Structures are given as C-alpha cells and as structure tokens.
Amino acid sequence: MFAASPEQTPLVRIGELSRRTGVTPDTLRAWERRYRLLQPSRSDGGFRLYGPADERRVHSMKAMIDSGASASEAARLAIAGEGLAGSRGTPGGTAAEMADRLGAALERFDEPAANDVLDSALTTLTVEAVINQVVLPVTRAIGQRWEAGAISVAQEHFATGVLRARMLALARNWGAGAGPVAILACPPGELHDLGLVAFGVVLRDRGWKIYYLGPDTPIAEVARAASELRPAAVVLAALSRDPLERDAAEIQALASGCRVLLAGQGADDELAARLGAEAMTADPVAAALRLGG
C-alpha cells in the first residue's frame, strides 16, 4: 500500500545487504564497529544476519553521505531518526505510518484528515523530512495506484491538489532569499510539478532565491528569464523523458549559457550528458543538498 508493512521478512547476510545497498561488506562492518549503526543477529556459525530496519538505516546513512554529510554525522542521524520516528511516542507515529494515513485520507476525499496528518507531521519533523518521508512517498504511491487502476482519476486529482496546495504554502516567499538564484520550471507538456516545488522549498531553506515558472513552460521562455535573472542554476523537471527529448535542441542551447539541471524520472545521465546538463536522479531533498553555489 503506501509503505512497507511489518511482514515476515527473511534476514539477510552481509553480502546480500551489500548488494542491496551498494555499500561494501567491509564498510558495513566498519560502520557497525565505529558508529554502532547496525546490531545484526548472528547465525549459528556466526554470520551477521540483517533485518529490514538495518537496511533502512544503511540506506538513510548512504543518502546523507551522498548529500555531503560526514559519515559520523550521517550515522548519528540515521540512528536517532529511527528512535525518533519509532519508539518515542510521536503523536502521529512514524513517518511511514503518517504516510499511510495521509494516503488513505486522500483516497477517501477527506481533506481535513489529510491536513491533520500533515499538521502532525510538520509539528514533529522538519520540513525536509516531511517532504522526503511523507509527501513524496504518498505522491509516488498515488501515482502507482492510479496507473494500476486502483484509484480513479478524480482521487488522483484531489490528492495532488491537496498536497500541492500545502507544498506551495511552505514555499511562500521563496523569492526573498539572499543567496544564489534558481529558476524552476517544467518543460512544455509536463504538468506535474510537485517534485519541483519540493525541490525549491529545500533549496530556499538553504538560502537560495527561487523564481518559479511552473509547469508547461516553453524552454525559450526559460531562457529569456534566465538571461534576465542570471540564475546560478536552472532546474527542469519532467516525469517522463518525452518532454525533455522534444525540446532537446533548445535545452542544449540554454545549457551552453548557464548551469542546467534535469530532475524527475524523465532525466537520466545519458540524456543530461548529451544536452550538456546535469541529471539529478536522487530524491529532491538529497539533490538540493548536493547542489553547490
């Protein structure tokens, strides 16, 4: 459904965990030794046996390191984040639980309930955490459930509308920053801008100044705005590859004049390289953090 439910997951050994997370076994052992990130149970023969919680922790630690944190900091938060979301009684439960409840509320057209969940998420977690662990997972889940025919278009529209409105509220005055300038837009044909807004909110929190042109913006217009506003980065987001391909030439031209980032599932390294741009395949929050001045 909206998040992993606690089912009977088999324990895995260090090799498998390494394969799943992309972290070498040596490093995993080092993280266990140095930061007590993991506390695996053992097989009769002494092999380490890891559960899903361990995998989550490794993933979260890796994500933070990728976004520039030091290993020790990442470990501290990966561990603390567990405890905070889990045992210690947060009123709303873990982030995953809140995501579940949010998704359910949206599916039954219950805006007040959805807002309640978001309120409690925002009172417990940071904006970034809410975006990353609640809003975006629900967005993805709803998209998938719609594709699978499990929910109607109306439900999908309703849900998107509610989430978009809340994200835009968080974006208030993101044009007031003193830092580097970013222009945000979706190319023509692309209407889904939730991820883009999320990205902008995180950047704003880091001191960036955001100019938001929104969905379905012609590249030529982005270029014109760029020549006027002199941004440190232009971000183009698309869920599918088509809109980016269609305007490839224009994007390439734009990228020759300023730094262009391609975001969303429509972006990949090959395409980005071809257009002289950069791809941001990770989630918006990590991408925002990685982005330098």
Q: Is the dihedral of CA 133, 138, 143, 147 positive or negative?
A: positive
Of positions 1, 4, 9, 16, contacts DNA by CB under 7 A: 16
What is the C-alpha to C-alpha distance for residues 75 and 215, in angstroms, rounded to an integer? 37
- C-beta of 156 vs 271, nearer to a second copy: 156
Of positions 30, 49, 104, 282, contacts a second copy by CB under 8 A: 49
Q: Nearest-CA neighbor of 109 among 58, 162, 71, 57?
A: 162
127 binds a second copy (CB under 8 A): yes
What is the C-alpha to C-alpha distance for residues 230 and 182, in angstroms, rounded to an integer? 9
- C-beta of 19 vs 36, nearer to a second copy: 19
Name, in order, each residue with C-beta under 8 angstroms of 95's C-beta and a sequence gap of 6 or more. 85, 121, 125, 129, 130, 133, 134
Name, in order, each residue with C-beta under 8 angstroms of 184's C-beta and a sequence gap of 6 or more. 196, 197, 199, 200, 210, 211, 212, 213, 214, 235, 237
On whether the CB atoms of residues 122 and 91 are closer than 8 A, the answer is no
Write each residue from 53 to 92 as x if it is in contact with DNA (CB under 7 A), else as -, in one continuous string: ------------x----xxxx-------------------
Least Cβ distance, residue 10 to DNA (angstroms): 10
- C-beta of 39 vs 123, nearer to DNA: 39
31, interface contact from a second copy, DNA, none, CB < 5-8 Å by kind:
DNA
Interaction residues for a second copy, span 155-194 (CB under 8 A): 157-158, 160-162, 164-166, 168-180, 185, 191
What is the C-alpha to C-alpha distance for residues 278 and 243, in angstroms, rounded to an integer? 16
Of positions 3, 30, 104, 225, contacts DNA by CB under 7 A: 30
Q: How many residues make contact with a second copy (CB under 8 A)?
A: 117
Task: Quote helix, strand, coil % in the chain, to nearest 5.
Answer: 60, 10, 30
Among the residue ranges 45-53, 137-145, 189-197, 282-290, the one whose residues contact DNA (CB under 7 A): 45-53
Given the rule CB under 7 A, which residues bind DNA? 13-16, 18, 24-27, 29-31, 33-34, 43-48, 65, 70-73
